[in-house]
Structure 1
């Protein structure tokens, strides 16, 4: 057997293109992190390393430092000109009122963060619980119409969100789930479950089929019930797939923008992070350094979650793909 040595040119080209891909993917994130450690006036300075690094943007977003708008609006500038004709005592009182109004919460990041975390976490957990029992019924229990139901669940996933947005909004309006911020968030909670449940059941069903049925049969002979078998055997043995499904469902809810922009847009207190950050781009508070800091903080939960359960995620994605 002849072993051919790879030429230097092929090796160089291979690693050159790998480096290009890494730079193409990593540079935008590195630039975002760099701008987040700058002052607003230095946001567009060249280079990736800030000349005057600061944690001001993160301190303001996390509530450790009060955020004050540095620029006056046109109405405030006109009002300042009119104040020149007022007596000194009245002018000072009006100035204090203007200063206090400018100290309002112009960038409620923590509120949006909490809304996104609540919606994404609850919807992912609910989708996971329903998916476990649904996938078990598809893989272990026989009943009339099982194949039809299983294919029907996947068929729902093939329909795009844009197509479903109008009928879903009309449906929730008719049942009164768009009358306030709380009801609109509950409508989003239901929609996120509908979005993630089909793939959750499909992934878990494939994994459950890799578990030998003899283990369950032995448990049933010993007097265990179906629920007991699921809780004591199926779930512990399927932990990699379960964690994978949870991360998948969580990321869908965390990054979702289309339905959130439709249902909660009239209620700023119910904004999620994608909607809130988009609204800030078109407001008087669109400061790039703070926007980049908010984007970095938005990515942190997903990165931490992924790194924490990476080994389970890899096992869950590969298991069930090959039948023995």
Structure 2
């Protein structure tokens, strides 16, 4: 009886703490949503209220007004940069991770250890050499420059994370495939990738989120507003006469929405593949 009561108390405490953490984490987003639904005079009132007294969607309409804030242009730039950077990072990372996981070659352990050193340095240390390289190639102020920089930023982590997934694939499966006449490249596409698809999806979402949320490199390597990503565009909104709190909150929520949707879809995809893999196994 005592043990059952103790377990119930522990479980209750766990859920109370979980709800508390969720409330603390989601409260800023709730305030952003409420502010985006308030008229401008109410949002900057000296006697602020949490819930809007008058609900308006004007700020969301203003966000999609190109004369006030070219949201769709910035959204397109962010989507192109994030998707291509994540896809290329994962594609290259698959081959690099496979080599680090399954092949034996000279200096393999040294290269493997080198991935840990990446986490010791801040990304800002790469700004000067990358700027020099990008400028020399004539790619400054283009979306290509941001894509290249985001690949450089995410590739080491992509390889490191994918290697961990590939390490869990038994070598006996590959040996059987080689007996059947498959080459290394065929093994990667027909065996390794399908077995590690949930891990690959996780790495893709990680790389996409890094590129989507990046401000530092996007603000340095692009100077024309036509190539601004959403993060840079939101910051530039502060310096315009069209800046108001409600409009800023609406634009910020819409900027965060694609990442939330992608994370939710990828989580369902990963869970589905894990369940199907367990059933087939």
TM range (shorter): 0.7 to 0.9
1:188–1:263 Cα contact (<8 Å) kept:
yes
SS in 2 for 1:51: coil
Select the structure of larger CA radius of gyration.
1
Q: Distance in 1 between matches of 2:24 and 2:107?
A: 49
Partner residue in 2 for 1:205: 163
RMSD between superposed Cα atoms in Å: 2.6
Q: How much does 1:113 deviate?
A: 0.8
Deviation per residue, 1:261-312 (Å, 9 max, x gap): 1111x21111111111011112211111111111111111111111112145
2:62–2:68 Cα contact (<8 Å) kept:
no
- Counterparts in 2 of 1:152 and 1:316: CA distance versus 1, 3 Å: farther
Partner residue in 2 for 1:29: 29
| Structure 2 stretches lacking a partner, 5+ long | 275-281
Q: Distance in 2 between matches of 1:7 and 1:245?
A: 36
Which of 61, 80, 85 lines up with 1:118 in the alignment? Answer: 80
1:262 aligns with 2:220: yes
Q: How much does 1:106 deviate?
A: 2.6
Q: Distance in 1 between matches of 2:9 and 2:167?
A: 47
| Structure 1 stretches lacking a partner, 5+ long | 68-103, 318-324
SS in 1 for 2:5: coil
Query: What are the equivalent positions in structure 2 for 1:1-324 lying under 5 Å apart?
Result: 3=3, 5-6=5-6, 17-44=17-44, 46-62=48-64, 67=65, 105-178=67-140, 181-182=141-142, 185-264=143-222, 266-312=223-269
1:244–1:312 Cα contact (<8 Å) kept:
no
- Counterparts in 2 of 1:16 and 1:240: CA distance versus 1, 3 Å: closer
Q: How much does 1:136 deviate?
A: 0.5
2:60–2:250 Cα contact (<8 Å) kept:
yes
Q: How much does 1:316 deviate?
A: 10
Q: How much does 1:176 deviate?
A: 2.4
Worse-superposed segment, 296-305 or 307-316 = 307-316
1:157–1:198 Cα contact (<8 Å) kept:
no
Q: How much does 1:172 deviate?
A: 2.1
Q: How much does 1:60 deviate?
A: 3.1
1:106–1:285 Cα contact (<8 Å) kept:
yes
TM-score, structure 1 normalization: 0.76
Structure number having the greater helix percentage: 2
- Counterparts in 2 of 1:2 and 1:26: CA distance versus 1, 3 Å: closer
Q: Distance in 2 between matches of 1:225 and 1:126?
A: 23
* Aligned length in residues: 272
Q: Distance in 2 between matches of 1:220 and 1:10?
A: 52
SS in 2 for 1:107: coil
Q: How much does 1:315 deviate?
A: 9.5
